[in-house]
Amino acid sequence: MSAIFIGRFQPFHKGHLEAIRWILNKQKKISLVIGSIQEFSTKDNPFSFKERKKMIEDSLLTAGIRNYKIYGIPDFFDDFLWARKILEITRLNQNKVIVFTQNPWTKRCFEKFGVQVRPHPLFFNRLSATQIREKINKRKEWKNLVPKPVFSFLKEVEGEKRIRFLKVLPEKRIVDFIKKRVKEAKAKGGIMGVSGGVDSSVVAILTKRALGKKVFFLWLPFVKDCVFEKNLSLLEKKLKHKIKKIYLGDIYKKLLKILPKANGSLKGKISKGNLKPRLRMTVLYYFANLYNLLVIGTTNRTEREIGYFTKFGDGGVDIEPIGDLYKTEIIEMAKRLKVPKEIIEIPPTAALWSDQTDQKELGLDYQNLDTVLKLLSQGFKKEEISRLANIPLRKIEAIIQRKENNIHKLSLPPIAIVHK
């Protein structure tokens, strides 16, 4: 029989090491599976997959343990798929393996396959990685809780500093960021466009916290019967702040009449669609200039990485408060901020044309898209990501191509150098 031991190892500690030793006293070899490999640089997952793998390898080498293999698995939002993928990547027969875990959820996942699941002893007084991170945050002694190689590695990569930094929720940092940038610009406040979607709702709530009454919210629709109107009412109640509505549909139609006709091609569709966020930004900057306000953007990290925004449209802003947060992280933040569930659950769309949704255009939902982007940023190859995340290779290649095609959106216009 072979053994499987699963954990996030954030960080690897002596409890993990002793559990592995105990298991190897009963089994000849062990497969160590690092979970949530796409997650990094967050409060609960401060370390990357490579960092976690190194901590384990260095610790086992020092302990003289050789008969192991290390694998990684991203999160699946299906218990059955997650457990099946672990058996697939470890290449172990479900009838010839024992999963050792104290986690009831893991136990249920594998028992669906008829896999043997056994608890292992809890060493070091039920020590957990969460406890170690808490001790670091409280500046308490923690060196004795991890193998020596882990302590040395965390010192080398400034792990303590990282854990303490990530302890502060991003919403607090964003509020401070907005306050600071408005003050530095000597502006009287901020202005932002809201859509009724989760991104703009999160930014609106944080901007209201930062600026209070010194913020203007505009809703700039192009259709009179907009499906997002109910969400805007919910957001107004949440903000306890008026959202001003300015209908831009007539202006948009008049512009299209005097511009060259856009045929039915994709380029024509995109040209007409991108005109909308550029008109919205024109209005926002009108108010910003009139009242000395900063224009506050709502583009998240997922959108920025793949260039999924309109250049000089929704990308033309003064500050981007959520530009370092992936879409899935925005959704988690929205839950913490108690954004109405109707807003969180509505299918994301830029509403550039009829029936447009982000998923239809991008080919992936945001859960899978973020998994791809997070793994790419950690150096995983596209073939590895496809195999580990059960995402077709062609879809990953399309995302990579989109990133390459849109990189110009993240740079300032190039300047011809004529002076030396």
- Beta carbons of 4 and 90 less than 8 angstroms apart: yes
Domains and CATH numbers, the chain: 2-167 (3.40.50.620), 170-362 (3.40.50.620)
Question: What is the reported pLDDT for 346?
Answer: 86
Mean pLDDT taken over the chain: 94
Most confident of 161-170, 264-273, 352-361: 161-170
**What pLDDT, on the 0 to 100 scale, is given for residue 349?**
67
Q: What is the mean pLDDT of residues 140-150?
A: 97
Nearest to 120 by CA among 203, 6, 233: 6
User: What is the percent of the chain where pLDDT is above 90?
Assistant: 87
Nearest to 410 by CA among 335, 304, 320: 304
The 10s digit of each residue's pLDDT in 200-239 is 999 999 999 999 999 999 999 999 877 788 999 999 999 9
| pTM score over 0.95 | no
Residue 355 has pLDDT above 70, yes or no: no
pLDDT for res 398: 95
Range with the poorest average pLDDT among 7-16, 74-83, 132-141, 240-249: 74-83
- How many other CB atoms are there within 10 angstroms of residue 338's CB atom? 9
The pLDDT, as a whole number, for residue 86 is: 96
**Overall average pLDDT of the 332-359 stretch:** 81
Cβ(4)–Cβ(99) under 8 Å?
A: yes
The whole-number average pLDDT for the span 153-182 is: 97
Q: For residues 46 and 52, what is the distance between their CA atoms, to the nearest angstrom?
A: 10
**Sheet strands side by side (includes 215-219):** 243-245, 215-219, 189-193, 293-295
- Work out the pLDDT band at 148, boundaries 50, 70, 90: very high
Report whether pLDDT(354) > 70.
no
The model's confidence at residue 192, banded by pLDDT at 50, 70 and 90, is very high
Instruction: Give yes or no for residue 411 having a pLDDT over 60.
Output: yes
How do residues 237-286 score in pLDDT, each as one tens digit?
999 999 999 999 999 999 999 999 877 777 888 899 899 999 999 999 99
What average pLDDT score do residues 182-190 get?
A: 98
CA–CA separation, 19 vs 1, rounded Å?
17
Q: Is the pLDDT of residue 181 over 60?
A: yes
Could you tell me the pLDDT band of residue 350, with boundaries at 50, 70 and 90? low
